[in-house]
Amino acid sequence: MTGSSTTTGPDTAAADTEGRRSTDRSRRIAGAVLVAALLAAAIGAVAWRRQPAAESAGPLRLERPGTVLLVAGPTHRVRQLDRTGRVLGSGPVCQRAATAAGVLTCLRALPGPMATELRVYRAGKDQPVLTLPVWGEPSRTRVSPSGRWVAWTVFRSGDSYAQSGQFSTTAGVYDLRTGAHHGSLEDYAVFVDGRPFHRESVNFWGVTFAADDRTFYATMAADGITWLMRGDLRTRRLTALRRNVECPSLSPDGTRIAYKKRTGTRWRLHVLDLRRGSDTALAETADIDDQAAWLDGRTVGYAKPGRNGPAVFAVPADGSGAPRARYEGASPTITTKPAGEGTSPPRPAALP
């Protein structure tokens, strides 16, 4: 029998060399892909750790006074910061939030049109002590200095206060001590220029409470005019004090109101002295559509667009200085001691 033999010619050798090169390239490509995948995984792991870092700062400590509570974007989660901006704690998801005396209100949108609920939390409790269904879109919320009363405002139609007559709002208050539910300020008796005031279309928004657990202030709009209203929680009566005052915010000592004043098609922040009746334009000249908050007795905070979304700015309450960006987020308020842990609150002032 004759055996067979294999002869390796130039073409075959070239093919083998090219195959080895192809294999080497494939290995290099595979290696590069693997390295890239590992790098991506590592970066993803770092990003994953960084993203929830603020959320893992711990629970809210509502009883800790002097910290800033705000709604952080884009998660809409409530965060507690110290004055330097360091995150101290993280809380529920809310479109609007406010705090005082160890109480937190969380106004949050629900799935479906015009579906909102108000959740109320107390210091040291993870679950809400009160949940109220509210028909409308979240707009404003506040807590009284004692922590007894909570308030909310929702849009029933429209989503901006910019166009007079093009929106509808409802504002209500709730007594956490007695359970009294004032679902709409439209049920109050209203007086303008000392006479009863009745209109088919009236809107209320932007409640702010005095320290006596009886007096509050809010905005009323009717006939294309806005008024600063003083309310009485016992008599359920609202009295007009001044025109062109929107989204009032009462100072910690109860003597001044920060608010937005319409000038043409824009709003500018002002402070009204309730004792003297004098009005001061603040150094912020941008168009501000927000219910301001007092960061202390001399400083007004508010939200406006910043570099990375909504940001909290601060400006002196006496009209001096210039606005400064302080924190990323919106809906700022300052934590205060729970009721009974401090001195007696000041009595509210009234216009002369």
Q: What is the pLDDT of residues 220-266, one digit of tens each?
A: 999 999 999 999 999 999 999 999 999 999 999 999 999 999 988 89
pLDDT for position 166: 67
Q: What is the pLDDT confidence band of residue 339, given thresholds at 50, 70 and 90?
A: confident
| H-state helical runs in the chain | 10-50
Give the burial class of 27: count Cβ atoms within 10 A of its Cβ; 0-12 exposed, 13-18 middle, 19 or more buried: exposed
Which percentage of the chain shows pLDDT scores above 70? 78
Query: For 175-234, what is each residue's pLDDT tens digit?
Result: 999 999 999 999 999 999 999 999 989 999 999 999 999 999 999 999 999 999 999 999
Q: What are phi and psi of 44, to 5 degrees?
A: -60, -40
Please count the residues of the chain: 352
309-316 sheet: strands from edge to edge: 293-296, 299-306, 309-316, 324-328
Distance of alpha carbon 51 from alpha carbon 30, whole angstroms: 31
Distance of alpha carbon 190 from alpha carbon 198, whole angstroms: 7
Average pLDDT, the chain: 84
Q: How far is CA 324 from the centre of its chain?
A: 18
